[in-house]
């Protein structure tokens, strides 16, 4: 029988394994650190789904956005992901939070459909890009704020050189003949919480 409940410290290892299934390029030690931090800092926003004691789904969230949502393949299309997202939405509603964002890898059509079905709307696109020093300097000279990508999500060869950029900033680089390497693209979706 499937049960959704708040995540606990004892769930960290199976939670991390599920997160690694959805982001296999991530650094396992970094994932463990970030999952543990979220379970401790946001205990009412991190949930697991269990089937007879086996963790089959996980959601890691904070008050602004869903960090990760992962379900074992054999448990997909059974309402597990919806239950996990609804658990977070309910607790955010109790906190008085008005909206929740999810950043979905652009080619994850299944996740985009799930969030769309749950009332999330597309609000933009962002990219993880590898930038050389010239591109970073160009953006800073324009007064643009650029956010280094948190290394946990990056393979070793991209650590320290990757940034989270909006579509507009990426367009500005390309318009000035600066060609960053796009590592991943994301669809940004948001749901207003009633």
76-127 pLDDT tens trace: 999 999 999 999 999 999 999 999 999 898 888 999 999 999 999 999 998 8
* Alpha-carbon separation of residue 187 from 29, 40, 72, 122 (angstroms): 26, 28, 22, 7
Nearest C-alpha neighbor of 61 from the set 81, 78, 76: 81
69 contacts 85 by C-beta, under 8 angstroms: yes
What is the residue extent of each domain of the chain?
2-97, 99-194
**CATH T-level fold of 2-97:** Aminopeptidase (3.40.630)
Q: And the tokens for 44?
A: 């009412």
Full-model pTM: 0.87
CA distances 77 to 24, 106, 114, Å, are 21, 20, 10
Q: pLDDT tens-digit profile of 25-80?
A: 777 888 888 899 999 999 999 999 999 999 999 999 999 999 899 999 999 999 99
Q: For residues 18 and 67, give the distance between their C-alpha atoms in angstroms, rounded to a whole number.
A: 13
Q: Which residues are CB-neighbours of 159 under 8 A, at least 6 positions away?
A: 151
Count of other CB atoms within 10 angstroms of residue 42:
17
């Amino acid at each position: 029988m499937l049960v959704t409940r708040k995540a606990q410290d004892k769930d960290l290892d199976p939670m991390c394994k599920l997160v690694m299934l959805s982001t296999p390029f991530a650094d396992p030690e970094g994932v463990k650190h970030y999952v543990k931090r979220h379970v401790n800092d946001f205990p009412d926003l991190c949930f697991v789904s269990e089937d007879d004691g086996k963790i089959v789904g996980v959601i890691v969230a904070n008050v602004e956005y869903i960090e990760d949502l992962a379900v074992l393949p054999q448990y997909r299309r059974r309402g597990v992901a919806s239950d996990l997202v609804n658990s977070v939405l309910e607790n955010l509603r109790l906190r008085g939070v008005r909206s929740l964002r999810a950043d979905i890898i652009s080619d994850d059509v299944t996740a985009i459909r799930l969030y769309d079905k749950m009332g999330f709307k597309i609000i933009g696109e962002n990219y993880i890009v590898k930038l050389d020093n010239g591109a970073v300097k160009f953006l800073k000279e324009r007064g643009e704020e650029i956010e280094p990508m948190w290394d946990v999500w990056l393979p070793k060869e991209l650590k320290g050189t990757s940034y989270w950029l909006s579509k507009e900033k990426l367009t500005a680089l390309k318009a000035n003949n600066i060609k960053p390497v796009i590592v991943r693209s994301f669809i940004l979706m948001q749901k207003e919480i009633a």
